[in-house]
Structure formats: C-alpha cells, structure tokens
Amino acid sequence: MSDTVIRVENLGKKYIINRKNQERYTALRDVIADRAKLFGRRIKKPFAQQNKHQTFEDFWALKDVSFEVKQGDRVGIIGRNGAGKSTLLKILSRITEPTTGRISIKGRVASLLEVGTGFHPELTGRENIYLNGAILGMSRVEIKKKFDEIVSFAEVEKFLDTPVKRYSSGMYVRLAFAVAAHLEPEILVVDEVLAVGDAAFQQKCLGKMEEVGKEGRTVLFVSHNIGAIRALCKSGILLSEGTLVANDLIDNVITNYISSPVSCSDTYIAEKNLEKPHFRKIEISQGERISGNAFAIDQPIRIKFHVERLEKKEIIIGIVIRNSQGLWIHHSSDEFNSETVNNSSSRRECRLPPYALSPGKYYVDAYLGQRNIETLENIIDCLIFEVEFTGIMSDRTTAGDWKGICGPGLLSWH
C-alpha cells in the first residue's frame, strides 16, 4: 500500500479579473448580494450598456503544478508574494476548487489559513473547540479528552467562555492553532498566520508541528520565515508566479529561493477598490540615494505609511524587516509610542538610524491592526530595497567583509 497521502496532478487555478470592478475575496453572501444588485440594474439599464467599459482578463494563480507528499513528511512551501502558495493550500483544504488537474488526499485535513479559520465569532472559545472537532469528524468524547491540553497550549483559560469576536488577534491564533494541532488530523496545513503570535508562541508552535510529524502525521507549512522553514521541514516546494520551480530537500529549495533574482520596489500602492480599512500607500526614502532602490548605509532610512478609512478606530501600524534569507531582522510598531493613529486619514513614519542594517537586500511586511481586537490588513513584501556601503565604509566593497546580520547602528554606546 502506497504511503502517499497527497497527490497533485497538473493542478491549475484560474480567476477572471474584472478590470473595472475587481473584487477581492468573495463569500456566498457577496455573490447573492451582487446578483440582486445586477438584477436591479438590468431593469433600469440594458445589460450591454452596463458592461460597455468593462474588460475581463484570465489570471492563472496556479499553472500545471504536480507533486506528491508522503505520510509523515514536513513540507515547507515557499515563494515570493503572489507565487500561489495560499491558493494551493486553499485547494488542498477543499476551500476552493481547481480549474484544471486533480488532487487526491488520504485522511482528515485541519487547516489554519488565516486568523480564526473555522471559528464562529459569536460562539465562545469553549464552543468553538467542540465545533471544530465536530467538523473534523470527532466525537464529543474524543474532543473532551483533548480539551484541557488545547486550552493549556492556547493559554486562554480566563477567556474560555468569552465570544471569540472579543479575542485579540494573538488569542485568536493561539486557540485556532491549538485546536488544529491537537485534534489529531492526519494532515495539518498551516499558512503564514503564525506571524501574528509572539516569538515564544511561534517557537511553541514549531515544536508542536515537529511533534505532529514525528507521530506520523503530515505537515504543510507556508511561511516567509526561512529560519522556521529550515528548522521544521525536511523537504520543500518552491513556487514562482503560479508554477512549481523546485520540489526537493529543504536546503536545496531554500538555496534556489534565495538565489532567484527579485526586483526592488520602493512604493506600495493599494488597489483603488478596497473597501476595508487599509494602507493607501507605503513608501521608503532616504535623503541621498546611491541608485534606484539602493540606500546608503550611513544615512537614516524612512518608511512612510498613508492610511485611510480607519473610521476613528484605535489603530496599530507595524512592520517586519526580513533579510534575503528570510530571517526577521527587525519587528516594530507604533504601539510603543504614547500617540496612536485614531483618525480617518493619517500618515505615520518610522525611521531606521544609520548603520542599522548590514549591506544586502531587505523585504518589508506591513500590518494594520485594531488595538487588542484584530488584524485588519497584512501585506507581505510591500517594499523591497537594498543597503549599500558608502562614506567611511566605501572601502569595503563586498558584503562578505561585513560580519553579522545587523549593522552596528542598532546598538547605542555610552
């Protein structure tokens, strides 16, 4: 009997993009509402006139992807932003159907693809644990045996009988991961959501996923944290623009990923049709640039955030800076300041001091959250830039002469 638990053959996923009125994630209620609106417009205006200026385009999020996963494998799925990683996990989790190809899965799949996946916001933490267990096909007796272990792992004892809509994003993730990992699925699928938790909880989750793999269960793990991928996974899959680039031992896949060229981007501009609170624009700048998106090591670097439609909520803006190997170099937010962003249209700025970063390429992730309630937006690789030697350091012509992953500017000498 074959020990293959996941077989993917010539998988493809196509989306139709409406260039005039492009939509993001669409739920069933959105489809029903849109059909009702369209019916009303048809009565007032001929259908041909409504679509006069609309253009449609096929977008393939995945194209001809094939691979197999064996029982007990811990597989890291990596790739740049927009590579198709999340789309692949949604198909494997039966959330969306493929356009072409087929998949074969043996065993129960527990997925953690975004904060609160599978949770009902009006139910308490206790009720959601039993609900998720029932969805996985477990009996109440089986869930009860694991209940105390789940609660202890999630560290939410005091809030167990509180509706999860009142949980912070960190509490949400802790409970969601604890449920997914402890209810004994044959296959555990985890997306980038662990980025919401603190460092100690991330390490705790990595340990649990390793334990799950050693028990003979299968783990699929998507993350931009290459250090976590390397520590947990034995094999890896590299995606680029919807195609499978590599399927090999994890060290070989990471080497391929790091060495692949990627262009810099000093500005992120949001799509005009976004209706939720969001970053309107994010940009990085410096008084004197060397060239293009390269910045001088001996001058401060500024990152500016333009935020709109906050509805006067108490908002936290934060960033993660990663190096070319995916390691987190810096993580910060304006939560540490006494002043918070709380108006409907706001600009914020953070500053990296001179010599804070070593020479090399860096990636910036930005997140927008409502204090102690939820994450509103999380953008991966919104900015990509390089730091280069200049001034008194210009005689050091290669980054190899520089020791350490951070620059000396992060320390203050007295």
Q: What pLDDT, on the 0 to 100 scale, is given for residue 117?
A: 63
**Considering the domain boundaries, does residue 293 fall inside one?**
yes
189: CATH? 3.40.50.300
For residues 255 and 274, membership in a common domain is answered with: no
**DSSP collapsed to 3 states, 289-324:** EEECCEEECCCCEEEEEEEECCCCCCEEEEEEEEEC
CA distance 377 to 279: 8
For residues 300 and 255, membership in a common domain is answered with: no
Residue 25 pLDDT greater than 50, yes or no: no
Stretch 50-61: mean pLDDT: 71
**DSSP collapsed to 3 states, the chain:** CCCEEEEEEEEEEEEEEECCCCCCCCCHHHHHHHHHHHHHHHHHCCHHHHCCCCCEEEEEEEEEEEEEEECCCEEEEECCCCCCHHHHHHHHCCCCCCCEEEEEECCCEEEECCCCCCCCCCCEHHHHHHHHHHHCCCCHHHHHHHHHHHHHHHCCHHHCCCEHHHCCHHHHHHHHHHHHHHCCCCEEEECHHHHHCCHHHHHHHHHHHHHHHHCCCEEEEECCCHHHHHHHCCEEEEEECCEEEEEEEHHHHHHHHHHCCCCCECEEECCCCCCCCEEEEEEEECCCEEECCEEECCCCEEEEEEEECCCCCCEEEEEEEEECCCCEEEEEEHHHCCCCECCCEEEEEEEECCCCECCEEEEEEEEEEECCCEEEEEEEEEEEEEEECCHHHCCCCCHHHCCCCECHHHCCCC
Tokens of 232: 């947990």
289: CATH? 2.70.50.60
Asked which of 259, 286, 305 is the last residue of a domain, the reply is 259
Q: What pLDDT, on the 0 to 100 scale, is given for residue 194?
A: 64
> Of 46-50, 75-79, 239-243, 362-366, which gets the smallest average pLDDT?
46-50
Stretch 193-215: mean pLDDT: 76
Tokens of 139: 């009996």
Stretch 259-286: mean pLDDT: 74
Q: What pLDDT, on the 0 to 100 scale, is given for residue 135?
A: 78
Share of the chain above pLDDT 90, in %: 22
- Contact assessment for residue 174 and residue 203, using Cβ atoms and an 8 Å cutoff: no
Per the prediction, the chain carries an average pLDDT of 79
Asked which of 240, 259, 278 is the last residue of a domain, the reply is 259
- The residue assigned the tokens 């976004």 is 274
**Considering the domain boundaries, does residue 69 fall inside one?**
yes
**Considering the domain boundaries, does residue 186 fall inside one?**
yes
**Considering the domain boundaries, does residue 121 fall inside one?**
yes
Q: What pLDDT, on the 0 to 100 scale, is given for residue 338?
A: 47
For residues 107 and 128, membership in a common domain is answered with: yes
Please indicate whether residue 334 or residue 296 has the higher confidence score (pLDDT): 296
For residues 223 and 323, membership in a common domain is answered with: no
Place 115 in a pLDDT band, splitting at 50, 70 and 90: low
**Considering the domain boundaries, does residue 332 fall inside one?**
yes
CA distance 378 to 319: 9
Q: What pLDDT, on the 0 to 100 scale, is given for residue 401?
A: 59
Q: Which domain holds residue 131?
A: 4-16+60-259
If 0-12 CB within 10 Å is exposed, 13-18 middle and 19+ buried, where does residue 339 land?
exposed
Q: What pLDDT, on the 0 to 100 scale, is given for residue 392?
A: 52
156 CB neighbour count, 10 Å cutoff:
21
Buried-exposed string 134-144: b where 16+ CB fall within 10 A, e elsewhere? eebebeeeebe
Place 235 in a pLDDT band, splitting at 50, 70 and 90: very high
For residues 252 and 271, membership in a common domain is answered with: no
Share of the chain above pLDDT 70, in %: 74
CA distance 10 to 21: 31
Q: How many domains does the chain have?
A: 2
For residues 253 and 172, membership in a common domain is answered with: yes
Residue 124 pLDDT greater than 50, yes or no: yes
Residue 354 pLDDT greater than 70, yes or no: yes
For residues 141 and 199, membership in a common domain is answered with: yes
Q: What pLDDT, on the 0 to 100 scale, is given for residue 24?
A: 46
- pLDDT digit string (tens) for 63-104? 999 999 999 999 999 988 788 998 999 999 888 899 999 999
What phi and psi values does residue 406 have, to the nearest 5 degrees?
Answer: -115, 160
For residues 385 and 297, membership in a common domain is answered with: yes
Place 192 in a pLDDT band, splitting at 50, 70 and 90: confident
Q: What pLDDT, on the 0 to 100 scale, is given for residue 266?
A: 77
For residues 11 and 127, membership in a common domain is answered with: yes
Q: What pLDDT, on the 0 to 100 scale, is given for residue 1?
A: 43
Please indicate whether residue 178 or residue 68 has the higher confidence score (pLDDT): 68
Nearest to 299 by CA among 245, 357, 381: 357
Q: What pLDDT, on the 0 to 100 scale, is given for residue 65?
A: 95
For residues 116 and 236, membership in a common domain is answered with: yes
For strands 74-78 and 267-269, give the pairing: unpaired
**Considering the domain boundaries, does residue 107 fall inside one?**
yes
> Which residues are registered as beta bridge partners of 385?
362
Nearest to 170 by CA among 44, 289, 318: 318
For residues 292 and 324, membership in a common domain is answered with: yes
Place 53 in a pLDDT band, splitting at 50, 70 and 90: low
Q: What pLDDT, on the 0 to 100 scale, is given for residue 127?
A: 93
Stretch 196-209: mean pLDDT: 76
What phi and psi values does residue 83 have, to the nearest 5 degrees?
Answer: -75, -20
Q: What pLDDT, on the 0 to 100 scale, is given for residue 28?
A: 52
> Of 81-90, 108-117, 394-403, which gets the smallest average pLDDT?
394-403
> Which residues are registered as beta bridge partners of 78?
238
Give the highest mean pLDDT range of 42-51, 98-107, 163-172, 353-362. Answer: 98-107
Asked which of 236, 259, 282 is the last residue of a domain, the reply is 259
Stretch 256-271: mean pLDDT: 77
> Full-prediction pTM beyond 0.85?
no
Residue 312 pLDDT greater than 60, yes or no: no
